[in-house]
Each structure stands twice: as C-alpha cells, then as structure tokens.
C-alpha cells in the first residue's frame, strides 16, 4: 500500500521545454507543479503496463528526491515521469487538468532509494549528478542536475509553502531533452553514473 504522494515539476530543463515548443521559465518565476498519485509507482524490475487508450506514452527520465521525517531531502532515486502526450495535448487544448496524461496507472516507474548521505561528496553532490536513459540499449536522454532551472531546494521551499507535503513523499525534479514514445516490449534502463541503475520493460496489455 502506497502512502506517499509524488509531486512533480514541469519544464525544469530548458532543452526539454524547447523541444516541446515552450519557452523555458525564468528562474525568478514560478515553477509549474503537478501531482502524480503515489499508487502510480512501479518498482524497479517490474513491467510497466502501457494504457490502451494512448498511442503516445513518452518517457521522461528524472531524478526523484524523497523527503525524510524532517521534510528535508533524505534519498534520491531514478524515476520515469511517464506522460500520455496525446492526452496531454488534447487536455491542454481544452483547458482541462492533466491528470489523465500524468497520473494514469503505472505512470511512475520509481527506482530504489539511495540515501543522500551515501553520495560521494555528500548531499551537495546532488547538483553534480549525470543521469541517462537508454531504450533497448540506445541512449535517449542525458541530464545533468546542475542544469535544473529551479534547483531542488527552491522547489522544496515552494511546495512546502503551498501543499500538504508529508514525510515519505517524493519530488520529481524534471526531465532533460530526448523524450520520446515508448513501444510495447521496450526495455528502459536508467542510470546515475557510479551510483545506481534501474530497468523496466513496457508492455501493452488489455485492461
Ligand atoms: Zn516530467
């Protein structure tokens, strides 16, 4: 039973905002926060069930940060903020919320937590991480946490002031460029160099 929520930020890497045709937000502006239900999480190694109502589910590889009992960051993990891009485009055009596009069943593959205290260089090394996503062995996304428009501490301050954030909740910190459609049978391998590696396989199944 999941008892956590997954807070997330859109357009936190300029190269990704650009590839979707958006202007990157100014660092002095306001982050765009959305929610994925905690029950969307898929543990590392499990299959991702692709929804049968979307033909354009995209991978968005992201660094996820977990909040400890003191509501400070305690752990990190690799996550995939899966997005039904066709539904998102339709909902945005209609001026509707994105919930279907972002918070559908299995929409948040979430790797094993790595304590920040175990980072070589300590918690400040959080801003020095390089992470990658390969699909079927081919490199699709490369991110550097230093390229975030809103750094993790800024995002944390923002959400703590506005949302019912609780210990154990996760924060997804945004995706770099390279998002693309996932096909049934694809093997998705995410890695933070020298720290952790996770893999999931996508399967389209009948509901
Ligand atoms: Zn995302």
The 10s digit of each residue's pLDDT in 41-93 is 999 999 999 999 999 999 999 999 999 999 999 999 999 999 999 999 999 99
pLDDT, residue 1, reads: 47
CA 115 to centroid of ligand 1, rounded, Å: 22
- Strand pairing partners for 202? 48
Beta strands in the chain (DSSP E): 6-10, 32-36, 41-43, 47-50, 57-59, 61-67, 73-80, 83-84, 108-110, 114-115, 130-135, 138-144, 170-172, 180-181, 187-192, 196-204
CA 9 to centroid of ligand 1, rounded, Å: 6
**pLDDT at 123 exceeding the cut of 80:** no
Q: State the CATH architecture for 6-204.
A: Alpha-Beta Complex (3.90)
CA 166 to centroid of ligand 1, rounded, Å: 21
Q: Count the helix, strand and coil residues of the chain and give each as a percent rounded to the nearest 5.
A: 20, 35, 40
CA 58 to centroid of ligand 1, rounded, Å: 10
CA 169 to centroid of ligand 1, rounded, Å: 16
**pLDDT at 207 exceeding the cut of 80:** no
CA 177 to centroid of ligand 1, rounded, Å: 10
What does the pLDDT average to over 95-119?
96
CA 136 to centroid of ligand 1, rounded, Å: 21
């Amino acid at each position: 039973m999941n008892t956590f929520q997954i807070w997330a930020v859109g357009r936190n890497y300029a190269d990704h905002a650009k590839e979707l045709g958006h202007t990157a937000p100014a660092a002095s502006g306001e982050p765009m926060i959305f929610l994925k239900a905690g029950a969307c999480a898929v543990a590392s190694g499990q299959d991702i069930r692709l929804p049968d109502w979307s033909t354009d589910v995209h991978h968005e590889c992201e660094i996820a940060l977990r909040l400890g009992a003191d509501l400070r960051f305690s752990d990190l993990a690799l996550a995939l903020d899966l997005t039904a891009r066709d539904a998102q485009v339709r909902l945005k055009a209609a001026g509707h919320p994105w919930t279907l596009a972002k918070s559908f069943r299995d929409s948040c593959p979430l790797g094993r937590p790595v304590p920040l205290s175990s980072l070589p260089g300590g918690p400040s090394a959080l801003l020095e991480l390089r992470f990658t996503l390969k699909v079927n062995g081919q490199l699709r996304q490369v991110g550097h946490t230093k390229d975030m428009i809103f750094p993790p501490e800024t995002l944390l301050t923002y959400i703590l002031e506005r949302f019912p954030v609780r210990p154990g909740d996760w924060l997804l910190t945004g995706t770099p460029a390279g998002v693309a459609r996932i096909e049934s049978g694809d093997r998705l391998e995410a890695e933070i160099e020298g720290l952790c590696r996770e893999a999931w396989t996508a399967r389209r199944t009948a509901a």
